[in-house]
Each structure stands twice: as structure tokens, then as C-alpha cells.
Amino acid sequence: MKDTTLKEWIITISTTIAMFVGAMFIYKINEAATSEEVFKCLCNSAFVSGALIFGFGLLVWCANQGAFVGLQYGVKQIFEKRRFEKGFESRKSYAEYRESKMKKQVRFKHMLVVGTFFIALSIIFYFLI
């Protein structure tokens, strides 16, 4: 698998920061009166955005390992059978489909790293409360 590009890092970091800022306003950081409330909002926002990105990275890793290939194949075959009744005999076998899907790997390590960073940031904010 190739290394992640700078573009993927920038997209992942900017998406996580946007989620972090959005979560800050959901947790009403602008109405916080004390520094304890501010750090609580920052801690919650960093954890939510980090956990979402980390969880998405884990889902991509599971998909790379072939966890959802059987489900994808089954749904695809159902819709192909309904759409092309006559051409259904020339379909791919499950082994061929799985082999073609396993060749298409998506990079996910940058999501795990950014998610871990934001979760660590939330732990730091937690100890500052």
C-alpha cells in the first residue's frame, strides 16, 4: 500500500478541525462562564471529533480486510438479477469479486493518527479542568 499523500492529511485534519469547531458550538462554548466550563466543552469536542475520525479509520481498515465484501456481493447480485434477467448467467463468481475488491485498498492510517491525536488532546483538556 502506498503512503498517504499530503492532500489526504490536509483533508483529514481540516475535516476534524471543522467537526471540533462545530462540536464546540453544539456544547455552547460561547455561553461558558468559567474556565472549567470552557475546558469541559473543549474536552468533549476534541473527544467527539477524534472518536468519529478514529472510528471511520477503523471501518476503512475492516473494509480493507474484506469484512463487507460478502454483503456487497450479495446486494450487487440481487440488483443485477432484477435488472438483467437474461445476462445474469455471465456474472462474476464470489472468488473473482473478492479478489478484485481486495486489490482496491484504501489508505486509512492518517485517519487513525489524527483521531488518536484529538483523543489525546481531549485527555489533556480533561486534566486541565
Q: What is the pLDDT of residues 10-38, one digit of tens each?
A: 999 999 999 999 999 998 888 888 989 99
Examine residue 19 and state whether it is found in any structural domain, yes or no. yes
pLDDT for 111 equals 94
Residue 107 CA neighbour count, 13 Å, CB half: 13
The burial of 118, by beta-carbon neighbours within 10 Å (0-12 exposed, 13-18 middle, 19 or more buried), is given as: buried
- Return the DSSP state at 34: S
- The segments of the chain whose pLDDT lies below 70 read 1-2, 4, 81-90
Domain that holds residue 47: 6-128
Examine residue 109 and state whether it is found in any structural domain, yes or no. yes
Examine residue 105 and state whether it is found in any structural domain, yes or no. yes
Provide the domain count of the chain: 1
CB neighbours of 88 closer than 8 A, spacing ≥ 6?
80, 81
Examine residue 60 and state whether it is found in any structural domain, yes or no. yes
3-class SS of residue 117: helix
Examine residue 1 and state whether it is found in any structural domain, yes or no. no
